[in-house]
Structure 1
Amino acid sequence: MKKLATVILIAVLILVSLPAGIGKVSAETIGDLNKEINELEQEKSKLDQEKNQLEGTKKETESKLGENEEQQGSVKQEINTIDDELSNTQSKISTKENEITETNTEIEELNNKINELSDRIEELKEEIEILQERIIKRDALLKERLRAIQQSGGEMKYMGVILGANSFGDFISRTSAVNTIMDQDKDIMEAQAADKKALEGSKKEVEANKEEVETKKVAVEDKKKSLESQKQDLVALKSQLDKQLAEKETLMASLEEEHGELEEHKMSVEEEQQLISAEQKAKEKAIAMAASKKGELEQLAKEEEARKAEAARKAEEARKAEEANKSKSSSTPSSSSSSTPSSSTKSNSSPAPSSSSGSGIFIMPAAGSISSHYGMRHHPIHNYNKLHAGTDFATPTGTTLVAAADGVVSTAGWVSGYGNTIMISHYINGKSYTTLSAHLSSISVSVGQAVSQGQAIGKTGNSGDSTGPHLHFEVHPGGYKNPANPMNYLK
C-alpha cells in the first residue's frame, strides 16, 4: 500500500509541476491565434483591394496627365503661332511708324518749301510793284516822246536837225546825237518789253511751283492718312493678338497648375501604394510570427497532452497494482489516509492580463508637451485649411522616440511632407492599428523589424514640411488612412 500511494503521489506531482509555459497552453489560446491570423489575412486581403483601387486611380491620373500634356502641347503651339503673329505685326507697326515718320518729315519739308515759295511770291509782289512803277514811268516817258515826235514830224524833224549842220563836223555831231536819242528810245522799248516778260514769267513760275508743292503736299498727307489707318488696323490686330495670348497663357498656367496637382496626386497614390505594400509586408510578418507562435503552442500542447497521458498511464498502473495487491491480501486494508493533494491545488493558468491603467493602449512615444491637437486647422506652410491627422508634441531635436506598442515596422524612411517617418503595424486585443511618427532626425529600425513597446526606434527632429522641431504622432485604427485622435489611445 505504501508503494501504491507513493506511485499515485508521483503521478499527481508530475501533473502539478508541469512548466509554466505549458500551463498557459490551451485550446482557447490557439483559437485566439487562429482568429488573429484569420483577421490579419482578411486585413491583408483588404489591403490588396485598396492597392488595386489605388492602381486604378493611378492609371486614371496618368490618363488625365496624358490628356493634360497633349492639351498643353496644343496650347503651346497656339501660343507660339500667336507669338509669331505678334512679332510680325509689331514689325509691320514699326515699319508703318517709320513710314509715317518719313512722311511727316516729307510734309514738313513741303511745308517749308511752300513757306519759301510764299515768301518768294511776296518778294515778287514787291518786285512787281517796283516794275509796275518803272513800267508806268516808262509808259509815260514813251507817250511823251511819241507825242513830241508826232508834234515835230517824227523822223523828218531828225533829218532837219542833221541837214541843218553848218559844217561836216557839225553834221557828224548832229548825226551822232540823233542816233543816241534813237538808241535810247529803242532801249527803253526793249527794257519795257523785257520787264513785262520777266514779270509775267516770274509770276507764272512761282505760282506753278506753289501749286505743284501744294498738290504734292495733299498727296503726301493722303499717304500719311493711309499709313495711320494701316497702323491703326495693325494696332487693333496686335491688341486682339495680345488678348488671345493672355487667354492662352492663362489657360497654359491653369493646365500647368492642374498638371502639378495631378503629378502630386499621382505621387501621393504611388506613395500610398508603397505604404500599403509596406503594411502588407508587416501583416505578413505578423501572420508569420503568429503562425510560428501557434506552432510553438501546438507543440507545447502536444507535449502537455503527452505528459498528461503519461501521468494518467502511471496513475492507472498504480491503481491496477493497488487492486492486485488488494485481491492478494487477506488482511483488512489500513485505515490510514493517502497523501493525495487537496482539490485546492493551484491552477497552472496565468492570470489574464489586466486592462490598461491609462485611458488607452499606447504609451507616449516621446516626452514633450502638446503643441498642436488633432483636427481641422489652417496649415502653417500650405496656407489653407486641412485635417491635422495627428497630435504634435514639442520635442527638441534628438529626443528619444520609442515604440508606442509591440508591432512590426512597415515604413522606415522618407515620406513626402512627413520627412523621416516610422510606421508600425500593431495587433492589440484582436484589433489592428498603425502608428505613425514623423519629422524625425534619425531612424534606428528597418522595415519588417519586430519591435517591443518602449523600445527606442529613432530620434525626433525637424525634417519634411515642418516649422520647428517636434514629433508628429498619428494613430490609424484598422490600418493606415484611417486617422483618429491619438489622445483617445494614449495612456
Structure 2
Amino acid sequence: MLKQSKPLIATVVATMALSFGVGTTGVSASKLDDLQNQQQQIEQKKNELNRGIQEKSSTIKANSEKKDKLLAQIRDLHGKIETKQNEIAKLEQEIQTTKAEIEALRASIKELEQKIADRDALLRDRVRAMQVTGGSASYVDVLLGANSFSEFIDRVSAVNTLREADRQIIAEQKADKATLEDQKNQVESKLATQEENKKKLEAAKAELDRQKKDLNGLVEQLEAEQQRLEKEQASLETEYSEAHEMSDELKQQIVAEQERIAVIARKAEEERKRKEAEARKQAAAAAASEQAESNRKAATSSKPASAGNTVAHTSAPAPAVSGGTWTRPAAGRITSTFGPRDLSWASSNHQGVDIANATGTPIVAAGNGIVSRAGSHPTLGNYIMITHSVNGKTMTTVYGHLSAIGTSQGAQVSKGQQIGRMGSTGRSSGPHLHFEVHIGNFGNPVNPMLYVPL
C-alpha cells in the first residue's frame, strides 16, 4: 500500500496540473467535474491510509500489551533469580564456615592423631618389653624383687597403677580413634550436602537465567517489530498528511471553480435581465409608436372608431411555470419533506423534497442558471446540478433519480425549461424527483419550501 499510494498522488497532481492549464474563459463544468473526481480519489486514498494507520495502531497496541506482559514475567524472574542468588550466597557463606570448621577440625585431628601415635609408640614399647620379659612374669619379678614387706606393698601398688594405666591408654586410644572417625564423617557429610545444595541452586539459577534470556529475546523481537510498525505508521501518517493537504488544495480549487461558475451565472442573469428590459423598452416604444399611428389615423378618418372592434390579446405563462424567481420543478404530489425521517432503507436526515409522479414526467429548471454538473451518482442516480445567481447571491439546485437527462454541463437554462424526465434511478423506492436547494455552492442544504413554490 505504501508503494502504490505515492504514484497515485503523483498522478492526481499531474492531472491537476493539466486541468489547471486549460484556459479560464467560458463555462468549464467539466473542469469542476474533474476536480471533484480527483477530490473523490484523494478522499478514498485518505480513507485507505487512515484504515492502514488504525490497523498499525491496533497492532502496535497489541504488541505493547504483549511486551508489558513479558516484561512483567522478566521482573518476576528477576525476583526469583535474586532470591536464588541470595540463597547461593548464603550457602557459600555456610560452606566457607564449614571449611573453616574443617580447618579447625583438621588441626584438632592432627593433635589427636599425634596423641594416638604417641600412645601407639608407648603401647608398642610396652608390648616389646612384655615380649622380652615373657609377658606378665615381669610384674612378678618386680614384686619378688622387693627387699621388705613395705617395699612389696609399694611395688604391688605401683604394678596395679601401671596395669590400670595400660588399660586407660588402650581405652582412650579406642575412643579417640572413634571420635576422629566420627568427626571426619560428619564434616565430610556436611560439606558434601552443602556442595550438593549449591549445585542444585546453581542449576535452578541457570534455568531462571535461561528463561530470562528467552524472554529478553522475545522482548527484543517485539521491540524490533514495534519499531518497524511505528516506522510504517509514520510513513502512512506522512502520506495521509500529504493527501489531506492535496484534498484541501482541491477543495479550494473546487470552491474557486464553483465561484467562477456562479459569477458566470450571475453575469448571464444580468444579461438576461438586461435583454428583458431592452425588450420591454422596445415593446413599449413600439406600442407607443403604434398608438401614435392609431391616433393619427383616427384623427384623419371620416368614420369614428367603434369600441366593439378593439380586441385585447394576453400572453399567459405556461401552466407549469410560476411567476417570480422560482418555479415548481415537476408536477406531482410531495411524498417526503425536508428534515429528519424514519426510514430503514434511506437517509434519516432528508436534505430535500420528494415529488412523486409517473416515470417520464417532465422535469424543469426551478430557476435561471448554468448547469454545473450532470451525471450519475450511486445514491442520486441520474442527476443535474444548476448554479443560480439570485439578487447577486449564489444558490444551487439539485434534481435526482432522473430517468433521462435533457441538458449538459455548462449549458445555460431558463426557469421552466425542461432539463430531464422523472425516474427511479439510484437509491430509490419508486419514480419521483428528489429536489434540493443549497445556499451558495453545493453543501449547505436548506428547506426548498422556503424558497420554491411547491
What's the TM-score, normalizing by structure 1?
Answer: 0.48
Query: 1:284 maps to which residue?
Result: 265
Task: Tell me, in whole angstroms, the C-alpha distance in 2 between the residues paired with 1:240 and 1:298.
Answer: 84
Cα deviation 1:49-71 (Å, max 9, x = unaligned): 34433433333233223322322
Aligned-partner residue type, residue 126 of structure 1: A
Aligned-partner residue type, residue 188 of structure 1: I
Among 200, 204, 210, the alignment partner of 1:229 is 210
Query: 1:331 maps to which residue?
Result: none
Higher relative contact order (CA 8 A, sep 6+): 1
Task: Tell me, in whole angstroms, the C-alpha distance in 1 between the residues paired with 2:25 and 2:79.
Answer: 83
Aligned-partner residue type, residue 86 of structure 1: K
Does 1:184 pair with 2:176?
no
Aligned-partner residue type, residue 193 of structure 1: K
Give 1:41 shift. Answer: 12
Among 74, 86, 99, the alignment partner of 1:118 is 99
Among 73, 83, 86, the alignment partner of 2:67 is 86
Query: 2:37 maps to which residue?
Result: 56
Give 1:127 shift. Answer: 1.8
* Conserved? CA contact 1:96–1:231, under 8 Å: yes
Query: 1:70 maps to which residue?
Result: 51
Query: 1:195 maps to which residue?
Result: 176
Task: Tell me, in whole angstroms, the C-alpha distance in 2 between the residues paired with 1:198 and 1:238.
Answer: 59
Task: Tell me, in whole angstroms, the C-alpha distance in 2 between the residues paired with 1:261 and 1:140.
Answer: 106
Cα deviation 1:294-313 (Å, max 9, x = unaligned): 12222333444566678899
Give 1:198 shift. Answer: 1.9
Unaligned runs of at least 5 residues, structure 1: 1-39, 321-406, 412-446, 449-491
Query: 1:101 maps to which residue?
Result: 82
Query: 1:141 maps to which residue?
Result: 122
Task: Tell me, in whole angstroms, the C-alpha distance in 1 between the residues paired with 2:284 and 2:85.
Answer: 117
* Conserved? CA contact 1:165–1:174, under 8 Å: no
* Percent of aligned pairs with the same amino acid: 26
Give 1:248 shift. Answer: 0.7
Query: 1:206 maps to which residue?
Result: 187
Count matched residues. 284
**Helix, strand or coil: the match of 1:124?**
helix
Among 89, 108, 116, the alignment partner of 1:127 is 108
Larger CA deviation: 293-302 vs 269-278: 269-278
Give 1:247 shift. Answer: 0.9
Task: Tell me, in whole angstroms, the C-alpha distance in 2 between the residues paired with 1:42 and 1:137.
Answer: 135
Task: Tell me, in whole angstroms, the C-alpha distance in 1 between the residues paired with 2:33 and 2:154.
Answer: 145
Task: Tell me, in whole angstroms, the C-alpha distance in 2 between the residues paired with 1:224 and 1:41.
Answer: 85
Task: Tell me, in whole angstroms, the C-alpha distance in 2 between the residues paired with 1:247 and 1:117.
Answer: 56
Unaligned runs of at least 5 residues, structure 2: 1-23, 301-390, 396-438, 441-454
Task: Tell me, in whole angstroms, the C-alpha distance in 2 between the residues paired with 1:304 and 1:263.
Answer: 60
Among 222, 239, 263, the alignment partner of 1:258 is 239
Give 1:408 shift. Answer: 5.7
Task: Tell me, in whole angstroms, the C-alpha distance in 1 between the residues paired with 2:249 and 2:31.
Answer: 14
Aligned-partner residue type, residue 103 of structure 1: K
**What is the root-mean-square deviation of aligned Cα atoms in Å?**
4.1
Q: What pairs up with 1:469-488 in 2 under 5 angstroms? A: none
Q: What pairs up with 1:39-438 in 2 under 5 angstroms? A: 43=27, 46-47=28-29, 49-152=30-133, 154-156=135-137, 158=139, 178-305=159-286
Task: Tell me, in whole angstroms, the C-alpha distance in 2 between the residues paired with 1:186 and 1:121.
Answer: 31
Give 1:133 shift. Answer: 1.7
Task: Tell me, in whole angstroms, the C-alpha distance in 2 between the residues paired with 1:93 and 1:296.
Answer: 90
Aligned-partner residue type, residue 297 of structure 1: E
* Conserved? CA contact 1:103–1:220, under 8 Å: yes
Cα deviation 1:103-128 (Å, max 9, x = unaligned): 33333333333333332332222222
What's the TM-score, normalizing by structure 2?
Answer: 0.51
Give 1:243 shift. Answer: 0.9
* Conserved? CA contact 1:65–1:263, under 8 Å: yes
